[in-house]
């Protein structure tokens, strides 16, 4: 087997890349990754240098993996700043590092694409061996595999890299007929609160959902403005994703995009107030970005959670991943669930210390999930 490192995703033909993954997962589509690069959202200047990996056998590409060389830890949602601080305190560089992830996207999904009938264990070992060589060449401190699917996290990588467990909040569709069917599973107090939130939000504003080509260029432009505004409030920046990214996202992602939008009523009819952007595949809904130019009570909950739940039920989607963090999601029926990452550290001394940290963190995470699960609003635990 031979390894090829790509300086751009466009060095791999789109049909070849997509055929290796055979998944509707939107964030690994060649068109999505290509737009991140061509729009200037992902590049060396933003700290995400593409180093995508292809594995070749007998002159045939048999596997692929997204890979980036990073000079910071922003936009990952698996926080290792304390590790970088420890390195700095000992005068050892932590950056650059290699990561296999979808930039700015903490959504679990495929990370290694492999042709059918290929030994996946052998591929995983060859990939890590290639990454170790690349790390030596680049001076990278290690490699980090973020938000892989359960099979990859639990069976392919554990022998080769340390495992880390985190927590997110996901809503699961228990074969609900409609939103009222879901609400009927909640305790009386929670049900009344949720319905009140929905009623007040929709009395104040006109809320609707747009899918695919229904999302006009004007709405994409508005979504970019809201994205920038949200990041400006959060950290004083405009965020990573450029205007060009949002302007071309509809063409890149097709009918796998959904935008929930809010406009004014009565004399304010047609005034754009807020928008929340989602992506979806055959099984999952992914909540990504939101923003508003005016504050309205319960608007965030309606656009980002309740509308997403209703859409997932209508589309018969199994899981709604509303994004990282947000303990307040529990009261709206989102379960705390484990998410995973894998980490290979070149420096043996730091690797041993990090493993001890991960062992302690894993216990705390599992204890938290068990405790938080007791706070779910359902009449009976699902």
CA nearest neighbour of 240 among 12, 76, 100: 76
129 and 26, same structural domain? yes
239 and 358, same structural domain? no
207 and 255, same structural domain? yes
Determine, yes or no, domain membership for 219.
yes
95 and 14, same structural domain? yes
Determine, yes or no, domain membership for 327.
no
What's the rounded Cα separation, in Å, for the pair 165 and 171?
A: 19
Determine phi and psi for 64, rounding to 5 degrees: -150, 155
What's the rounded Cα separation, in Å, for the pair 140 and 77?
A: 20
CATH number, domain containing residue 220:
3.40.630.30
243 and 351, same structural domain? no
Residues of the chain with pLDDT under 70: 153-160, 381-382
Strand partners, 2: 56
pLDDT of residue 159: 66
pLDDT digits (tens, 9 = 90+) for 138-156: 999 999 999 998 777 666 6
What's the rounded Cα separation, in Å, for the pair 86 and 295?
A: 41
292 and 257, same structural domain? yes
Determine, yes or no, domain membership for 130.
yes
Determine, yes or no, domain membership for 79.
yes
pLDDT of residue 382: 46
Long-range contacts, stretch 25-28, CB < 8 angstroms, 24+ apart: 25/109, 25/110, 25/281, 26/253, 26/256, 26/257, 26/279, 26/280, 26/281, 26/286, 27/102, 27/105, 27/107, 27/109, 27/279, 27/286, 28/66, 28/102, 28/109, 28/110, 28/113
Determine, yes or no, domain membership for 331.
no
230 and 152, same structural domain? no
195 and 66, same structural domain? no
Name every residue whose Cβ is closer than 8 Å to that of residue 340 and which is 6 or more positions away in sequence.
108, 147, 148, 150, 153, 154, 163, 164, 165, 166
pLDDT digits (tens, 9 = 90+) for 295-322: 999 999 999 999 999 999 999 999 999 9
Determine, yes or no, domain membership for 328.
no
Determine, yes or no, domain membership for 344.
yes
Q: How many domains does the chain have?
A: 2
**Domain encompassing residue 274:** 174-317
pLDDT of residue 160: 67
186 and 123, same structural domain? no
131 and 183, same structural domain? no
Q: Is 190 helix (H, G, I), strand (E, B) or coil?
A: helix
pTM equals 0.94
What's the rounded Cα separation, in Å, for the pair 379 and 382?
A: 9
pLDDT of residue 311: 98
Determine, yes or no, domain membership for 9.
yes
């Amino acid at each position: 087997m031979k390894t090829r490192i790509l300086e751009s995703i466009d060095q791999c033909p789109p049909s070849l890349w997509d055929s290796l993954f055979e998944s509707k997962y939107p964030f690994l589509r060649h068109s999505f990754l290509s737009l991140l690069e061509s729009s200037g959202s992902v590049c060396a200047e933003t700290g995400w240098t593409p180093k995508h990996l292809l594995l070749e056998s007998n002159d045939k590409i048999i596997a692929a993996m997204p890979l980036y060389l990073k000079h910071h830890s922003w936009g990952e949602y698996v926080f290792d700043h304390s590790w970088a601080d420890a390195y700095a305190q000992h005068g050892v560089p932590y950056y650059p590092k290699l990561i296999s992830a979808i930039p700015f996207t903490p959504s679990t999904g495929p990370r290694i694409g492999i042709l059918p009938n290929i030994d996946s264990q052998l591929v995983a070992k060859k990939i890590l061996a290639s990454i170790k060589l690349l790390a030596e060449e680049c001076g990278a401190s290690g490699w980090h595999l973020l938000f892989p699917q359960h099979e990859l996290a639990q069976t392919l990588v554990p022998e080769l890299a340390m495992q880390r467990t985190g927590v997110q909040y996901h809503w699961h569709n228990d074969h609900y007929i409609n939103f009222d069917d879901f609400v009927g599973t909640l305790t009386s107090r929670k049900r009344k609160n949720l319905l009140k939130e929905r009623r007040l939000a929709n009395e104040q504003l006109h809320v609707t959902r747009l899918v695919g080509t229904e999302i006009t260029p004007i709405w994409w432009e508005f979504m970019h403005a809201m994205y920038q505004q949200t990041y400006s409030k959060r950290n004083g920046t405009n965020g990573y994703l450029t205007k060009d990214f949002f302007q071309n996202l509809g063409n890149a992602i097709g009918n796998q995009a959904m935008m929930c939008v809010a406009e004014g009523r009565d004399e304010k009819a047609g005034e754009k107030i807020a928008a929340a952007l989602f992506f979806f595949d055959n099984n999952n809904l992914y909540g990504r970005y939101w923003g508003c130019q005016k504050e309205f009570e319960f608007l965030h909950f309606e656009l980002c959670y309740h509308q997403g739940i209703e859409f997932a039920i209508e589309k018969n989607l199994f899981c709604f991943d509303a994004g990282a963090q947000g303990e307040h999601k529990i009261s709206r029926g989102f379960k705390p669930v484990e998410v995973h990452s894998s980490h290979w550290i070149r420096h043996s001394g730091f690797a041993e210390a990090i493993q001890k940290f991960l062992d302690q963190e894993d216990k705390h995470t599992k204890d938290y999930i068990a405790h938080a699960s007791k706070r779910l609003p359902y009449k009976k635990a699902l």
